[in-house]
Structure 1
Amino acid sequence: MEREPYFFLSYARRDDRGSAFVGRFYDDLVEELARLGADVSGQQPFLDVERIGLGMDWESTLGSEIGHCRAMVALCSPAYVNSLYCGKEWAAFESRVLKYREQTDIEVPALIPILWVPLHQAMPPEISRYQYFEPAMGQEYLEQGLMGLLRSAPGGRAYRAVLELVAKRVQHVADLFRLPRAQGLDLGTVRSPFEGREPAGPGSRTTGHVRVFIAAGVTDPLPEGRQRREYYGPSPLDWTPYHPPVHPTVAYRAQRVIIDEGCTSTLEVVDGGLGEKLEEAMYNNQTSVLLVDAWAAREGRYRTALSDYDRENHPVTGVLVPCHETDEESGDEKLWADLQQVFRRNWMRRNDPYDPLFQVQVERQRFEDRLARMVVVAQNRLMEKAVPRRLPAGPSAPPMPGLSVPYPPPSRADDPTEPEGPFAPAEGSGQ
């Protein structure tokens, strides 16, 4: 019998590097389908890391699986819509759905988009024309995405509600319909529908790196004057300043924003060597962001390092201080007066719309936008100040031959310095 995968899981590799959330969701979905009575044993669902072995032609394998699967579950995210091969997978499967509609006049909901990580901009129309939200999925799903729910409470009500709805949709289309097969599908000839969102290719823009420094409290002991333990964890990296005080942590939120802006990032905890690290970052043509817990900043562990930062000039470093409006403890005016003493020099430019590198009392709904703008502005300033690093001295180059006629400057249209695209391509589930 010819293979017809019960479903194909399409996702961006960049969303799952260093973690196992995609694999966990795949396993949970297969288990939920079994609970609903679906028999997938004869037509094993497709997940690339399980079905593409060493030495196999991955592009040919992907084409075969997409051309024969019964349903496709797409984990939509900023990385997904910027992935060349995710776009190809989407287009290839959608063509089968459209062909079936032409042949039968039946709309089969076999292309199932899932909000894996929320997008800062509007969902591309190629995706939003398909229903990716139902009221039963809950507001938490829209705010955090399914990966956020899986990260914070993998067995929780919100995650299970979405999982059950997805499984029911997959079972419905896989058991009742058979889309026309696409024999010999060559993904190399398929064009991604996310036109204008795809990276233009290597060399159009160098991906920047952002060093993220966290100055936050822990549960034991809590910052002085703080009573609410649920906002903290055993490490400063576990800090969750927004209500409800659950994951994703502010560090995770920050890294998600930075990825969306086409940059890479690392996480560090603020210590006495902060100033030297910021100088090192700038020397290496990197930008930095300080995420500061107003409660912890008043203590000796961080106060000295942050005050030293305030007295120095760090033009490509941003500071962001989160605060949730319903956290009654953080409404204390003395808390912010103390923070003003820590950042005496920078306090005058707080929340300046024209100089967005010092943002305080940033509410949850504004966190992503404020941080994204901070990263972009810091990167732009870095490009103005970046110093090329010289290679070690070598033998002198031979003299250049002279030109017998003046060489005209390139026209504006031919100017090779004009940017052509945003950043290097992200990987799809097949690459």
Structure 2
Amino acid sequence: MSREPYFFLSYARRDDPEDAFVSRFYEDLVNELRRLEVDCSGQMSFLDVQRLSLGDDWERRLGREVGRCRALVALCSPAYTHSLYCGKEWAAFRSRVDHYRAQTTIDVPALIPVVWTPPRGAWPEEIARLHYAEPEMGTGYLEHGLMGLLRTDPRAYRRALKVIAERVQHVAELFRLPVVDDLDLATVRSPFPDLSTATSAERSTPHVRLFVAAGVSESLPVGRRRPEYYGRSPLDWAPYHPPAVPTLANRAQRVILDEDCVSSVEVVGRDLGERLDEAMGNNQPSVLLVDAWAACGDPYREALSAYDRQNHPHAGVLVPCDEADDESEAEELWAELHEVFPRNWLRRNDLYDRLFQIRVDRRHFDAQLAVMVTVAQSRLMKKAQPRRLPAGPLAPPMPGLMVPAPLPPADAERHDPPGPAEGSGHDDD
């Protein structure tokens, strides 16, 4: 008998590059189901879930998991609706639900959307038409998403987790959807319009490169005493506490998605200049998200100082500062940051040059970043190399337009055409 997963977790890896929050939720959900006396013996460990995307047959293995699971838990976010394979997993599982309804007239709520990070606007219709919240999950769940609650409000997170586990248990125990062992995700179309209906030419979405220079909780920057702003990785940095979105990188990616762009996140390294040049060559604007504390010491100071000495007109620097962070009010900190960026410091917070913004508070972060991306993109477009069309046959000559001269009157005297006056010839000497 083939293994039958109790649930399949569908999520966008761009939301949580190191899978720290997703793995925590996955394990918590399995433990909550066990508390409800559910047999989760068919469930993989999260490490195995991560490995699904590795190897040559990952697409087939994903299809097999989606085709066998009893429920699908979708961690919905702006990145999720922009992910081709998240859309494929959603559509493939929905087809099993639709098939069951056609056979039994029962609409099984086994496709379970979870608000992981909320969009700034409305959800796509495919998500909005489903029931994705319960009153007991609280308003914070809809405002900040489960990923936000996981980091900022453990009690609210546990309440929402309990509701999700009970719903998974309900559909998994009462219903058995038809199993599809040979489900081929390559043939499935995403239901989200951004990726399912666009042609390859239409999907040439601008790509923004994000670079993060921030500390970590295990080794705080020199002089820093507030570990709550940091995590295990620089990508876990959350300078606004409590954060509405778990990490600053995640919040930045949401802003960029709302600007109809896609993004990638990297940690600043010694090769920062090379990577910025590479981005410029690919017509990709870049933004450096810089922790003022970490920028002043190792391992970032050398790379950021080199950036300041070089010319990168397509890249911006944004330095957040939480108004509730009393440590960051010290003028000595900003004087030292001035020494890291002496050239760019001259244009700090310039209304006419938005690519170097310091002490950006939480209320202005989204707007400042959106403007920065727009300005950097505009500068790139001015310098972008035009793409030449391939050579083709010469165009035929344009037809001449012959206008007949008017006929002289019948009684007009004939005159010789005027010639050059005597002595008016050209003097070659």
TM range (shorter): 0.5 to 0.7
- C-alpha change, 1:209 and 1:84, in structure 2 (3 Å) is closer
Aligned twin of 1:291: 289
Alignment root-mean-square deviation, CA: 5.1
Aligned twin of 2:211: 212
Displacement of 1:94 in angstroms is: 2.7
Q: Is the 8 A contact 2:210 2:289 kept in 1?
A: no
Q: Is the 8 A contact 1:211 1:286 kept in 2?
A: no
Displacement of 1:230 in angstroms is: 4.1
Task: Count the aligned residue pairs.
Answer: 386
Match of 2:123, SS? coil
Q: Is the 8 A contact 1:319 1:358 kept in 2?
A: yes
Aligned twin of 1:196: 194
- C-alpha change, 1:378 and 1:5, in structure 2 (3 Å) is same
Rounded Cα–Cα distance in structure 1 between residues aligned with 2:165 and 2:116: 15
Higher relative contact order (CA closer than 8 Å, sequence separation 6+): 1
Aligned twin of 1:403: 394
Letter in 2 for 1:133: A
- C-alpha change, 1:306 and 1:58, in structure 2 (3 Å) is closer
- C-alpha change, 1:21 and 1:339, in structure 2 (3 Å) is closer
Q: How does 1:228-247 map to 2 (within 5 A)?
A: 230-231=228-229, 239-244=237-242
Structure 1 stretches lacking a partner, 5+ long = 390-399, 408-431
Rounded Cα–Cα distance in structure 1 between residues aligned with 2:178 and 2:300: 62
Larger radius of gyration: 2
TM normalised by structure 1 equals 0.66
Displacement of 1:240 in angstroms is: 3.2
Q: How does 1:162-177 map to 2 (within 5 A)?
A: 162-177=160-175
Aligned twin of 2:407: none
Aligned twin of 1:323: 321
Q: Is the 8 A contact 2:313 2:379 kept in 1?
A: yes
Displacement of 1:196 in angstroms is: 3.5
Aligned twin of 2:414: none
Moved more, 43-52 or 190-199: 43-52
TM normalised by structure 2 equals 0.66
- C-alpha change, 1:291 and 1:70, in structure 2 (3 Å) is closer
- C-alpha change, 1:384 and 1:300, in structure 2 (3 Å) is same
Rounded Cα–Cα distance in structure 2 between residues aligned with 1:130 and 1:243: 32
Rounded Cα–Cα distance in structure 2 between residues aligned with 1:159 and 1:371: 29
- C-alpha change, 1:325 and 1:2, in structure 2 (3 Å) is same
Match of 2:94, SS? helix
Deviation per CA, 1:213-234, whole angstroms, max 9, x where unpaired? Answer: 53779745326xxx75644679
1:265 aligns with 2:265: yes
Match of 1:403, SS? coil
Aligned twin of 2:112: 112
Q: Is the 8 A contact 1:117 1:147 kept in 2?
A: yes
Aligned twin of 2:25: 25
Rounded Cα–Cα distance in structure 1 between residues aligned with 2:298 and 2:67: 61
Displacement of 1:179 in angstroms is: 4.1
Q: Is the 8 A contact 2:280 2:314 kept in 1?
A: yes
Q: Is the 8 A contact 1:310 1:346 kept in 2?
A: no
Aligned twin of 2:376: 378
- C-alpha change, 1:188 and 1:233, in structure 2 (3 Å) is closer
Displacement of 1:37 in angstroms is: 0.9
- C-alpha change, 1:325 and 1:103, in structure 2 (3 Å) is farther
Rounded Cα–Cα distance in structure 1 between residues aligned with 2:104 and 2:33: 27
Letter in 1 for 2:82: N
Moved more, 95-104 or 73-82: 95-104
Match of 2:365, SS? helix
- C-alpha change, 1:233 and 1:162, in structure 2 (3 Å) is closer
- Identical counterparts, % of pairs: 56
Displacement of 1:379 in angstroms is: 2.9
Structure 2 stretches lacking a partner, 5+ long = 399-429
Aligned twin of 2:223: 222
- C-alpha change, 1:324 and 1:93, in structure 2 (3 Å) is same
Displacement of 1:169 in angstroms is: 0.7
Rounded Cα–Cα distance in structure 2 between residues aligned with 1:301 and 1:4: 47
Rounded Cα–Cα distance in structure 2 between residues aligned with 1:44 and 1:299: 42
Aligned twin of 2:413: none
Rounded Cα–Cα distance in structure 1 between residues aligned with 2:172 and 2:394: 70
Rounded Cα–Cα distance in structure 1 between residues aligned with 2:335 and 2:33: 55
- C-alpha change, 1:385 and 1:120, in structure 2 (3 Å) is farther
Deviation per CA, 1:155-179, whole angstroms, max 9, x where unpaired? Answer: 9444433332211110011112334
Match of 1:163, SS? helix
Deviation per CA, 1:155-206, whole angstroms, max 9, x where unpaired? Answer: 9444433332211110011112334566865555543221235484656527
Match of 1:196, SS? helix
Q: Is the 8 A contact 2:13 2:19 kept in 1?
A: no
Displacement of 1:102 in angstroms is: 6.4
- C-alpha change, 1:44 and 1:282, in structure 2 (3 Å) is closer
